[in-house]
Amino acid sequence: MLRLQVLALAALLCACSKKEEPAPAAGAQGPATTEPSARKPIPVGLVIDVGGRGDHSFNDAALRGLELYAAGKRYEGGKYVDATPTEVRETLPPHMASLASSIQPLPVKPMVLQSKAQEDYTPNLQLLVDQGAQLTVGNGYMLANAVRAAAQENPKARFLLIDSQVLDAQGKVLKLPNVRTVLFKEQEGSFLVGALAGLVTKTGKVGFVGGIEVPLIQRFEVGYRAGVKTTNPQVAQTLMSVYTGSFNNMAAGKQVAQDLIAKGADVIFHAAGADGIGVIQAVKEARAAGKSVYAIGVDSDQSHVAPDAILTSMMKHTDLAIYQATKDLVEGKFSAGEQVLGLKENGVGMAEVRVDFPGKAEALQKVDALRQRIVAGEIQVPAVPAELASFQAAAP
């Protein structure tokens, strides 16, 4: 099984109604083992899911990996403009800032399609292949079936699937020679923010807001619960969890967060895509009304959305995984297989804590001690609910 090394992280969608950047002319596709031509920018396609651009989370992380890191561009006012090394560096947490010098623009041209509905996934992927994309990225587990169909229909095209394995009609893992899949140990990053939440809460009540209740999102919740349980077992017993049933309904996210705040939750972690922006808005409004409450962001560092309201974010580095796959393509090294990335591989982590609170330094030291124990293999963070009851880890 393939694994990214640290510079797997370092050196590491229309049928939908609109295309975000004019696609290059269609070009010939070589077989998966042929090195792309370096004479002109190599077209690389990305299909993002229904949450869309501007979710400040999962989709924006993928866009960052292709546009900012790989192409060296920012998408601004409907077009691409050159980005600076500083803009790359600012997207990395402090403990990964040294990787910025290894992220160099590549000779690639991004082609991005946003999906307005699940029915758009397959035609969007095919459209990018038809338009000459030499690597096509399906961003999210919801695109797994579409990637399987497109990869089987286009055996000479290369695909990258984020957040899922390729499964056959019976749900069994299917290894395709032209697809790389990347999975993340979301539970490990979620454990860290849960540990912090257990140390920060003053009301003794914390909450979790998920999007669609599937195993992927449950890993966020289970890891979060395990982290809270480690630093504050009593709080873990009353942790409140709600699922919105979507990833693109900010109003739903705001409503459930308001309900949690009304019930006394003063730290709320979301893993709900664009719904999470509603969670953050609810926390921001509660703080404006005088309540001491924090939100914990997800996938990307979401502190810029509401600087005073975001305690931290659980970061999932899909951006670096996409950058690395694109780099491999450019260098003729792209290969199929499966990558699984956790804290040890810098695939997940915790964003910088920018807000101040009593005992901050000591709390962060405790969380970092837990991070080191996970990396060393001393703590095995549970990933499914059935593992949670028996989980025990000594508090730092």
> Domain range spanning residue 197?
186-316+348-381
Using pLDDT thresholds of 50, 70 and 90, give the confidence band for residue 39: low
Query: Do 218 and 120 share a domain, yes or no?
Result: no
pLDDT of residue 98: 87
Query: Do 258 and 208 share a domain, yes or no?
Result: yes
| Number of residues written out for the chain | 396
In a domain, 4, yes or no: no
The average pLDDT across 27-31 equals: 35
The average pLDDT across 299-316 equals: 96
Question: Structure tokens of 79?
Answer: 């077009």
Lowest mean pLDDT among 6-10, 75-79, 367-371: 6-10
Using pLDDT thresholds of 50, 70 and 90, give the confidence band for residue 195: very high
Question: What CATH number does residue 266 fall under?
Answer: 3.40.50.2300
Query: Do 101 and 205 share a domain, yes or no?
Result: no
pLDDT greater than 50 at residue 33: no
- Total domains, the chain: 2
In a domain, 27, yes or no: no
Residue predicted with more confidence, 54 or 130: 130
Digit-coded pLDDT (tens) for 247-270: 999 999 999 999 999 999 999 999
- Asked if 108 and 41 count as a contact pair (C-beta separation under 8 A), the reply is yes
pLDDT greater than 50 at residue 20: no
pLDDT of residue 31: 38
| Distance between CA atoms of residues 230 and 132, nearest Å | 50
Query: Do 352 and 228 share a domain, yes or no?
Result: yes
In a domain, 31, yes or no: no
Query: Do 75 and 204 share a domain, yes or no?
Result: no
Digit-coded pLDDT (tens) for 197-211: 999 999 999 999 999
pLDDT of residue 324: 97
In a domain, 2, yes or no: no
In a domain, 3, yes or no: no
pLDDT greater than 50 at residue 84: yes
- How many Cα atoms within 13 Å fall on the side-chain side of residue 316? 31
Order of strands, edge to edge, in the sheet holding 108-114?
Answer: 108-114, 42-48, 135-139, 159-162, 179-184, 337-341
pLDDT greater than 50 at residue 129: yes
Query: Do 149 and 84 share a domain, yes or no?
Result: yes
Query: Do 140 and 195 share a domain, yes or no?
Result: no
Query: Do 56 and 177 share a domain, yes or no?
Result: yes
pLDDT greater than 80 at residue 106: yes
The average pLDDT across 343-356 equals: 95
Mean pLDDT, all residues of the chain: 90
Residue 160 β-bridge partners: 137, 180
Query: Do 85 and 163 share a domain, yes or no?
Result: yes
pLDDT greater than 80 at residue 140: yes
In a domain, 24, yes or no: no
Question: Structure tokens of 263?
Answer: 């019930």
In a domain, 110, yes or no: yes
Ramachandran sector of residue 377 (left: φ over 0; alpha: ψ -120 to 50; beta: rest): left
- Asked if 138 and 161 count as a contact pair (C-beta separation under 8 A), the reply is yes
34-58: b or e for each residue (b if 16 or more CB lie within 10 Å)? eebeeeeebbbbbbbbbbbeebbbb
- Asked if 62 and 136 count as a contact pair (C-beta separation under 8 A), the reply is no
Query: Do 94 and 196 share a domain, yes or no?
Result: no
CB count, 10 Å around CB of 391?
A: 16
In a domain, 117, yes or no: yes
179-190: b or e for each residue (b if 16 or more CB lie within 10 Å)? bbbbbbbbbbbb
Query: Do 173 and 54 share a domain, yes or no?
Result: yes
DSSP 8-state symbol, 66:
I
| Distance between CA atoms of residues 211 and 208, nearest Å | 10
Query: Do 135 and 268 share a domain, yes or no?
Result: no
Q: What is the largest CA-CA distance in the chain?
A: 62
